[in-house]
Amino acid sequence: MSQVPAATRALRVLRFLASQPDPVPLDRIMRAVDLPRSTAYHLLGTMVDEGFVIHLVEEKRYGLGVAAFEVGSGYSRQEPLQRIARRLLAGLVDTTGHSAHLAVLHGRDVLYVVEERAHGRPPLVTDVGVRLPAHLTASGRAILAALPPAQVRALYPDRTAFVDRHGKGTDTLSALRTLLAETRQRGYAVEDGEVTPGFASVAAPVLDPNGHPVAGLAVTFPTPTDEEPPTMVVRRAAEALTARLGGRTANARQV
């Protein structure tokens, strides 16, 4: 044990929860991290208060909270991910003739960290540093569809969590569940005019070694169009970036 045992225990809890596909009961955490019940209970209570853990009271289980995911997303915003992604995005632009971008989840928003603009195309609202509601964007939907159900429920507890831009998009958790289920079934996310009228996007998730989404990779194009959406090239690019990060394909989940 280190000279800061509480910190060591908290980090071990986070590492264990991150390795689990779903929230787990207190007894499993106690055994995995070798903690007495009273210590585990108080430690988890503090981590819940700080947002790193969520307590599903009715299920008597604990899972990763939004703060834990934001820490993970912070890593994805660092230069290594941007440097790796930029070449792949440039290849997408060359292949499709449309602008491409990479976004990471930050709370209920996506933060755009890389954009490669196609020659002659107008600037988009998805410029680097811009934040948009995740549930309205293709990148955000690709990320949300790959998250554990408990994290999605924690992000969208009621109608006030749903922001509207142009009178389109989901505004309830039930509608979001349906949308994310369709996204997982297709293997990619879509949006049409919900971010910017006259433009649509397709996106796929970039996954870490645990199968959790660290980013959404997307291409945006003007609509209406007679062209087929570039879904396959977007998926291949996201899979290539996932492989570069040592990631693996996530198992299908239901919110």
Mean pLDDT of 111-139: 85
CATH number for the domain whose boundaries are 5-64: 1.10.10.10
Residue 211 has pLDDT above 70, yes or no: yes
Residues whose CB falls within 8 Å of the CB of residue 13, separated by 6 or more in sequence, listed in order: 29, 33, 43, 44, 47, 53
Residue 184 has pLDDT above 90, yes or no: yes
Residue 246 has pLDDT above 90, yes or no: no
Query: Locate tokens 């410029």: which residue?
Result: 127
* Cα torsion 45, 111, 197, 226: sign: negative
Kindly indicate the confidence band of residue 127, based on its pLDDT and cuts at 50, 70 and 90: confident
Q: Are 104 and 214 in contact (CB under 8 A)?
A: yes
Mean pLDDT of 100-124: 87
Domain boundaries, the chain: 5-64, 70-244
| 27 vs 31: CA distance, rounded Å | 6
Pair of tokens at residue 123: 């600037």
| 248 vs 230: CA distance, rounded Å | 22
Kindly indicate the confidence band of residue 251, based on its pLDDT and cuts at 50, 70 and 90: very low
| 145 vs 252: CA distance, rounded Å | 9
- Residue 79's pLDDT is 58
- For residue range 147-159, what is the model confidence (pLDDT) as tens digits? 988 889 989 998 8
| 250 vs 201: CA distance, rounded Å | 22
Provide the mean pLDDT of the chain: 87
β-partners of residue 102 are: 114, 217
For the domain with range 70-244, which CATH number is right: 3.30.70.20, 3.20.20.100, 3.30.450.40, 3.90.950.10?
Answer: 3.30.450.40
- Residue 107's pLDDT is 86
Sheet with 109-116, edge to edge strand ranges: 131-133, 109-116, 99-106, 213-222, 199-207, 189-192
| One-letter amino acid for residue 28 of the chain | R
Outline where DSSP puts E strands in the chain.
53-56, 61-64, 99-106, 109-116, 131-133, 189-192, 199-207, 213-222
Residue 42 has pLDDT above 80, yes or no: yes
Furthest C-alpha separation in the chain: 64
Question: Rounded to whole angstroms, what are the CA distances from 248 to 126, 134, 137, 144, 241?
Answer: 27, 23, 23, 17, 10
Mean pLDDT of 1-22: 82
What percent of the chain has pLDDT above 90?
50
Residue 250 has pLDDT above 70, yes or no: no
Kindly indicate the confidence band of residue 253, based on its pLDDT and cuts at 50, 70 and 90: very low
Residue 46 has pLDDT above 90, yes or no: yes
| 68 vs 218: CA distance, rounded Å | 24
Residue 75 has pLDDT above 80, yes or no: no
Kindly indicate the confidence band of residue 252, based on its pLDDT and cuts at 50, 70 and 90: very low
